[in-house]
């Protein structure tokens, strides 16, 4: 086995000895001029390097015996394998993400020869998305048994630092509608405001998703397969009646891809100097409006699809709810009770007052 470290001397007389790493070419001063002492240091370094290498060779022998292809697999093989998993939208996302140049340093690297240093080099030079997909392919390789142990310990992975996302405001939405002269896109943005669907789910809606007798709109989310269902309000019905009575509701928009729809919306926002929003901001806006209106969280989950990050985000902390005073809230509740049952209103009020008194005690 070739030794990794060798000894050189700078200067003919009285010069210091240097350690040369034959793998990286880096030279490090030992800070001494005694040859015997310098050779002992070099030998110690080579011994420490040789033992892990020997252990790795033994491990490789056992692994090759169980799986002959183990020695040949590279990270490119992992990337190709993960791209055939999941739904079409997931495959497309992987294909696009793994084309990033940051992964070029790993493509030809054998799995068994990969070190934590290799991963850290990719992570230090990449964006948040690079760290996200690198961790995915790493965990995928572990899951299918192509890695015997993790390359990078869990605590060493960088914490995700995503950009802050916000909901589109009603004023911004109204400005966009006023400026958008294309009838189909205008109705498309109106529909997003009313139902909070993702841009792809809304573009794929067709007449079969609407049940007029029961006044409901139902669809299954492309991303998760979860069912989303909500009642057709008067305002939503007015929008739907302006759309085709059969087939796709937005035939021209459905013919484009997500990138084209996002680019068109971005162009419109740019012309209006509206910053920090995307088509997905309509989803956040719907969830935050629901929270501010006192809409039960389970209803919001059903309307947007149960596995909805937008609902969790809004109901956890983002939506600002104006809390009424207790006095005003009590008066409002008493008025509601009185309207439902005018005759025994006094009795209901007394009972309700006693209930509040009990809670206060």
Residue 188 neighbours by CB distance under 10 Å: 26
**Both tokens assigned to 185:** 């896109």
Kindly state whether residues 217 and 101 are assigned to the same domain.
no
Q: Are 202 and 310 contained in the same domain?
A: yes
User: Taking residues 132-153, what's their average pLDDT?
Assistant: 87
pLDDT-derived band at 248 (thresholds 50, 70, 90) equals very high
CATH number, domain at 282? 1.10.443.10
242: nearest Cα among 188, 195, 316: 188
- Residues 290, 192 share a domain: yes
Structure tokens at 359: 């809670």
Confidence check: pLDDT of 178 > 50: yes
In the predicted model, is pLDDT for residue 244 greater than 70? yes
Residue 104, in any domain of the structure:
yes
Average pLDDT over residues 282-292: 87
Same domain, 53 and 75: no
- With respect to residue 162, please indicate whether it lies within any of the assigned structural domains: no
Q: Select the more confidently predicted residue: 351 or 174.
A: 174
Question: Which range of residues forms the domain containing residue 100?
Answer: 70-156
Closest to 288 measured CA to CA, from 185, 179, 168: 168
Q: Quick one: 61 and 74 in the same domain?
A: no
CATH code of the domain covering residue 100: 1.10.150
Is residue 82 assigned to a domain?
yes
For the segment 100-124, what is each residue's pLDDT rounded down to a tens digit?
Answer: 888 888 899 988 788 888 888 888 8
pLDDT at 136: 92
Same-domain pairing of 59 and 75? no
Same domain, 100 and 28: no
**Could you tell me if 334 and 223 lie in one domain?**
no
How many structural domains compose the chain?
4
Residue 165 falls inside a structural domain: no
Confidence of residue 30 (pLDDT cuts 50, 70, 90): confident
Most confident among 70-79, 175-184, 291-300, 338-347 (mean pLDDT): 175-184
Assigned domain for 161 exists: no
* Residue 67 or residue 160, greater confidence: 160
For range 124-138, the mean pLDDT: 85
Within this chain, do residues 177 and 267 fall inside the same structural domain, yes or no?
yes
Check residue 33 and give its pLDDT: 83
pLDDT at 85: 82
DSSP string, 246-293: SSBSSHHHHTS-HHHHHHHHHHHHHHTT--S--TTHHHHHHHHHHHHT
pLDDT at 188 over 90: yes
Q: What is the pLDDT of residue 354?
A: 40
Q: Give the Cα separation of 283 and 288 in Å (integer).
A: 9
pLDDT in tens, 325-342: 566 666 777 787 777 665
What are the phi and psi torsion angles at 210 (to 5°)? -105, 125
Tell me how far CA of residue 71 lies from CA of 237, 239, 286, 323, in angstroms: 62, 60, 52, 64
Burial class (CB in 10 A: 0-12, 13-18, 19+), 281: buried
Q: What is the pLDDT of residue 359?
A: 29
Q: State the DSSP H helix or E strand holding residue 135, giving kind and residue range, or none if neither.
A: helix 128-143
**Which of 99, 129, 156 is a domain's end point?**
156
Exposure class string for 29-63: b at 16+ Cβ within 10 A, else e: ebeeeeeeebeebbeebbeebeeeeeeeeeeeeee
Q: Residues 235, 213: one domain?
A: yes
In terms of domains, do 194 and 303 share one?
A: yes
Rounded CA separation 288/206 (Å) = 27
| Last residue within a domain, chosen from 156, 178, 198 | 156
Q: What's the pLDDT at 320?
A: 59
Task: Looking at the structure, tell me whether residues 122 and 210 fall in a common domain.
Answer: no
Task: Please give the model's pTM, rounded to 2 decimal places.
Answer: 0.60
Domain-embedded: residue 347: yes
């Amino acid at each position: 086995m070739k030794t990794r470290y060798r000894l050189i001397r700078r200067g003919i007389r009285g010069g210091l000895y240097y350690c040369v790493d034959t793998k990286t070419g880096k030279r490090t001063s030992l800070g001494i001029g005694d040859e015997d002492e310098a050779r002992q240091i070099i030998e110690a370094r080579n011994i420490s390097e040789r033992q892990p290498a020997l252990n790795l060779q033994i491990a490789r022998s056992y692994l090759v015996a169980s799986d002959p292809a183990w020695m040949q697999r590279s990270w490119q093989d992992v990337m190709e394998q993960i791209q055939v998993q999941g739904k079409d939208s997931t495959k497309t996302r992987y294909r696009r993400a793994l084309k990033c140049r940051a992964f070029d340093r790993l493509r030809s690297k054998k799995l068994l020869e990969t070190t934590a240093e290799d991963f850290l080099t990719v992570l230090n030079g990449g964006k948040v998305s690079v760290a996200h997909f690198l961790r995915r392919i790493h965990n995928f390789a572990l899951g299918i048994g192509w890695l015997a142990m993790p390359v990078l310990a869990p605590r060493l992975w960088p914490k995700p630092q995503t950009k802050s996302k916000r909901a589109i405001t009603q004023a911004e939405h109204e400005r966009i509608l006023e400026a958008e002269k294309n009838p189909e896109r205008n109705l498309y943005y109106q529909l997003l405001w009313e139902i909070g669907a993702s841009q792809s789910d809304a573009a794929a809606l067709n007449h079969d998703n609407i049940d007029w007798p029961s006044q409901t709109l139902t669809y299954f989310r492309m991303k998760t397969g979860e069912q989303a269902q909500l009642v057709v309000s008067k305002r939503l019905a007015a929008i739907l009646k302006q759309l085709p009575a059969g087939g796709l509701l937005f035939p021209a928009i459905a013919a484009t891809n997500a990138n084209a729809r996002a680019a068109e919306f971005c162009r419109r926002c740019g012309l209006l100097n509206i910053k920090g929003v995307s088509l997905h901001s309509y989803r956040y806006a719907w969830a935050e409006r629901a929270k501010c209106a006192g809409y039960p969280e389970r209803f919001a989950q059903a309307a947007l699809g149960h596995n909805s990050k937008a609902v969790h985000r809004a109901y956890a902390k983002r939506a600002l709810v104006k809390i009424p005073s207790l006095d005003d809230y009590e008066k409002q509740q008493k008025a509601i009770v009185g309207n439902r049952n005018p005759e025994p209103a006094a009795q209901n009020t007394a009972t309700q007052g006693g209930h509040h008194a009990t809670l206060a005690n």
